[in-house]
Each structure stands twice: as structure tokens, then as C-alpha cells.
Amino acid sequence: MPATTFLFVPGDRPDRFGKAAASGADVVILDLEDAVAPADKDAARAHAGTWLRDHEAMVRINAPGTPWFDADAALVTARGIPVVVPKAETPGVLAGFREVVALVETARGVERAGELASVPSVTRLAFGSVDLAAELGVAPEDREPFAYARSRLVIASAAAGLAPPVDGVTTDLRDDEALEADVRYARRMGFGGKLCVHPRQTAPVRAGFAPTEAEREWARRVLTAGESASTVDGRMVDRPVLARARRILGE
């Protein structure tokens, strides 16, 4: 199954790298961008390079056009490290890396989601709701302004044959109900994972994206009925329904 939990850890905090790796997150992302002050960028890159000699993780590099992009890109390309590219807008930039999660967090990136998803090196799209909120002048916790953007990423991912996209962060680390509600909404919109900013978020995020027992039971009834069945529980069964049932059960 595709990864559902993507945990950021600041690149200038090597003391936290091991804790992040032990958190149970599907993917650890060493963050050289938003979590690191400009004066600490070079040190963070060095810390990440050292740790990645013996461990696996992704690296969120600094955005194209920033003073640190070239050095960050040199590190990940020389070592073949999977990369998260922020402010993803230009397909040609993404093509220069081996394996990319394209973080779409600008209006231009949203409008080019289909092009970004079609780049061969792109394995997943992710949604940067906080940065997009700043550009649009809206509150990042308000879901309604982002319905179009989220749908664009979901459709673009499906059209390109990618796994469902990864939703943005929940910034309130203390509100478990808000996190769970955000996960339910993202899953309903067609997302398949979420960016996390604290290890305590990984378990509820993973649980929220897992099929419920009711969904599993429905899928089992559908598959037990077989391809010759026309209805289950009074609802039509056809090939797309069978495919959904198999996907729920991981078959």
C-alpha cells in the first residue's frame, strides 16, 4: 500500500533524526526549507548528508530560485536521495531528480498539477495548504477555499497513474479532534496520506487512512458474492465496485 504518513524533522536538529525514524512514520523527511532559519541552512544540509550515509529518508530541499537550491540539489542528486521539492511549479525542475514528491503550494502549481504529475520522476503530489493560504489571503484551517486545489491534485494524480496525493499539515499539535477531522476530510476528497509535523500525529493519521472495519466487511461481502452478483445490500455491483472492494482489502 502507498505510504500514508510523511513526518518532517528539522534539518538543523540531528538529535531528532533518530527519534523521527523510530516514530513509525512511513516516510521521514529531513527538512532543509521552512523549519530551518537562513543562517542555519548550510549546517542543516551537512547534518542531513551525514545522517543519510547510514539511513534512509527523503529531503525537502529549498525551493527553486532560492540561494540554497543549487547546493541542496547537488547533495540529493549526487547520492540519489528521494526529494520533496517545495513550490513545485516547473516540470523541468522536477525532471532533474531521481524520485520526487512534488509539493504543490502555489496558485501556479495548482494550475499546472497535471503537468507536474506527468513528470516521470514524480512519484506523488503533496498539498501545501499553509503556503497557498498565504498567497490567497485566506485562513489555512478553512477547508472551503482549497476544495478546488485539492480536487485538482486528486484528479491529476489519478490521470497520471500516481498514488493518491498527500494532504497538507495540521498545524495545531494539541487538537487531536482537529487532526482526525482533517484526515477524514482529506480521505473523503480522495487523498491517500498526510504530511505530519510531530511524531504524535503519525498514529492517528495512519489509522484515519486505513479502511474501517465496516468498509472491510462490505468489501468482503462484495467479493464473496462474486462477479456474477448484480447487487449486494441492495446496491448495484459492477466491475468498478469490485475493483474498489479489492482495493479496500489490499488485493
pLDDT, tens digit (0-9, with 9 covering 90-100), for 78-99: 999 999 999 999 999 999 999 9
Q: How confident is the model over 42-80, as pLDDT tens digits?
A: 999 999 999 999 999 999 999 999 999 999 999 999 999
Q: What is the pTM of this model?
A: 0.88
Which amino acids are annotated as binding site, given as ranges?
Answer: 60, 105, 131
Could you give all domains of the chain from N- to C-terminal order, each with its CATH number? 5-210 (3.20.20.60), 215-248 (no CATH)
- The annotated binding site for Mg(2+) is made up of 105, 131
Q: Is 147 a residue whose pLDDT tops 90?
A: yes
- Measured distance CA(225)–CA(77) in Å, rounded: 50
Residues at the binding site for substrate are 60, 105
pLDDT in tens, 122-142: 999 999 999 999 999 999 999
pLDDT at 229: 61
Does residue 199 register a pLDDT over 90? yes
- pLDDT of 200 above 90: yes
DSSP assignment of the chain equals: ----EEEEEETT-GGGHHHHHTTT-SEEEEESSTTS-GGGHHHHHHHHHHHTTTS--EEEPPPTTSTTHHHHHHHHHHHT--EEETT---HHHHTTSSSEEEEE-SHHHHHTHHHHHTSTTEEEEEE-HHHHHHHHTS-TT-SGGGHHHHHHHHHHHHHTTPPPPEE-----SS-HHHHHHHHHHHHHHT--EEEESSGGGHHHHHHHHSPPHHHHHHHHHHHHH-TT-SEETTEE--HHHHHHHHHHTT-
230 pLDDT higher than 80: no
Question: In whole numbers, what is the pLDDT of the chain averaged over residues?
Answer: 93
What are the residues whose beta carbons fall under 8 Å from the beta carbon of 244, sequence distance 6 or more?
A: 219
Q: Using 50, 70 and 90 to split pLDDT, how confident is the model at 152?
A: very high
- pLDDT of 100 strictly over 80: yes
